[in-house]
A and B are shown apart, each in its own frame.
Chain A
């Protein structure tokens, strides 16, 4: 993060700490709490899709869900928290001069900690249970870097947008649920009934929703143990870089008048 000067790293670390601590004030379970929501979701969906309504035939289905959720909670958690971060820290932004990107990025990192813990749990479990090649896990750092770039770009963009257009956070929140079901977290495209007859539909679902290739890449490397499609890898690198560059450019352009608009 070269755009955070060394003397501001301290502030960055402190804001992350403040974000994390502030959310679970005084709770001794601390960071464990952040894992409860994905774990409950995993349990509920497993129950519904494998026991009650037996439609999924993925072995180790709970791990499959958790892999997708690691990315999803990082993405959407960061988007919602970052969207309100500048408005929530208005007193700081209006009264102190410091690089403003620190605020949304600290919000993102605080969400990233949860995802990191999930991935840290998934790696040994998948290494133990996975059928495919364990070597593809070497690609995981690339997938993580691309994901971070994507999320950082979105976090930066949404944080400034929400200052100028206060309904941004509500629009984002409204889109999250339908977006979740359009992203292959609970299901896999492999078992898609339309996959053979309507390939264009599959491609549309895969590439029009920018979250999908990232989810596929992390599922392939972390859960299936298979090489992601080249197109998916190219997609996540290009989109990650583009969204980051675009988000950062928008942030730089709009942050000039932050102190007046807040």
Chain B
């Protein structure tokens, strides 16, 4: 490792495979008694990747889910060894693959800071010296001596990032860590990342957020199927990426191309896209602006109604909407059309959701084309509450004299 400068990264012919278990876990009993091996299939997460990153660069890694992004970070962090090739990193590597990993729910915020800092290799003395800064950065002064199980997920992330902000790495690995937290805190995190950058720390950053990559990175890498497809200037790589998406949209990009079937249809759904503030995505924030776009083709003189049904990933109905009443906005000419449904604030809580899309006739419940689970997406939430739907409201509790008959709760 000595020939690498601090902050330098070199990957040479790196491959990493996974075993995809097709059955349940192997048991010791079976392994010993029947000498039976697990049934599995091998999947290459990264294939023969060469990469050289100069110290002080900030590199964004983009790609669809399963493209090998997280695997690359885990290899760089030393969490996983490569199956072939060589991963070399210079200097001290700090990986933030998950904020607050290793927090103990029953420990107070302060105790978890000490624990988490030691996980990342910070000495006791320097944690002590930096404790006030860490707490100040997290803005959790009032809660720092409460057990973290009482924290909201946003507070949890904030504390996790605050520890990270005080670390002193040569290489910093970030995996989608800015996906949660409120906007103000997110920009605070980004400015801290910019500080790291100014200090010459090499940053490797996995994100689905185009904005974050363009703000932070001076180089981007597009991974697809375990290979580096495009590498270079972030604007160019993001452009390549989006062009690539448009030709082969996977369900996980938040966009789906509906396969053409053989039958002839009066109207046909072409593609369905979910977008957040940063364009097409499969990850949305609760309360974020959200747009569902359906592109369809009309082949006859019909004026199809576009209907959307939102379900939880296990199929429970949440809500539905269609543009039946908006007659004047519905296209009736032949050719391609785009129907957009804009939600100012996404009223869903954390979870995975799917949208069924239907092109219906104006009357009679006949549908020209319907696609179940046309797109799936994940919602992240920082708020409190539970269930799939975010109900927005304010609580108010006040003392009253005495409940009269109307207010008394009947048992």
Contact = CB atoms under 8 A, between A and B. Distances in A.
Contacts of A11: 118-119, 121
Place the interface of chain B in its size category.
20 to 34
A94 interface: yes
Chain B at the A interface: SS class: loop
A260 B95 CA distance: 17
A91 B102 contact: yes
Given A18-B107, A89-B102, A259 B79 contact: yes
Interface in B79-108: 79-81, 93, 95, 97-98, 101-102, 104, 106-107
Contacts of B19: 260
A141 interface: no
Contacts of A8: 121
B124 interface: yes
A167 B123 contact: no
A96 B107 contact: no
A193 interface: no
A166 B114 contact: no
Given A11-B121, A26-B106, A97-B93, A260 B80 contact: yes
Contacts of B405: none
Contacts of A231: none
Nearest to B98: A95
A25 interface: yes
A166 B77 CA distance: 26
A168 B31 CA distance: 11
Given A21-B106, A21-B107, A97-B77, A171 B29 contact: yes
A145 to B, nearest CB: 27
B27 A10 contact: no
A256 B81 contact: yes
Interface string B60-81: 0000000000000010011111
B115 interface: yes
A22 B103 CA distance: 11
Given A26-B106, A97-B78, A165-B31, A18 B115 contact: yes
Interface in A212-261: 256-257, 259-260
A167 B29 contact: yes
B79 A94 contact: yes
A232 to B, nearest CB: 30
Contacts of A171: 28-29
A198 interface: no
Contacts of B31: 165
A168 B81 CA distance: 25
Give the size range of A's interface with the partner.
20 to 34
Contacts of B74: 259
Contacts of B115: 14-15, 18
A200 interface: no
A18 B18 CA distance: 32
B101 A165 contact: no
B120 interface: yes
B119 A22 contact: no
B86 to A, nearest CB: 15
Interface centre among A10, A94, A166 (most CB of B within 10 A): A10
B218 to A, nearest CB: 25
Contacts of B101: 91-92, 95-96
A256 B31 CA distance: 20
Contacts of A91: 98, 101-102
A234 to B, nearest CB: 30
Given A26-B106, A91-B98, A259-B74, A98 B119 contact: yes
Contact of A96 (B79, B81, B104, B123): B79
Interface of A: 7-8, 10-11, 13-15, 18, 21-22, 25-26, 89, 91-98, 161, 164-168, 171, 256-257, 259-260
6 contacts: A95-B101, A96-B77, A97-B77, A98-B121, A167-B29, A168-B28
Interface of B: 18-19, 25-29, 31, 74, 77-81, 93, 95, 97-98, 101-102, 104, 106-107, 114-115, 118-124
Given A18-B107, A97-B93, 4 more contacts: A91-B98, A92-B101, A96-B102, A97-B77
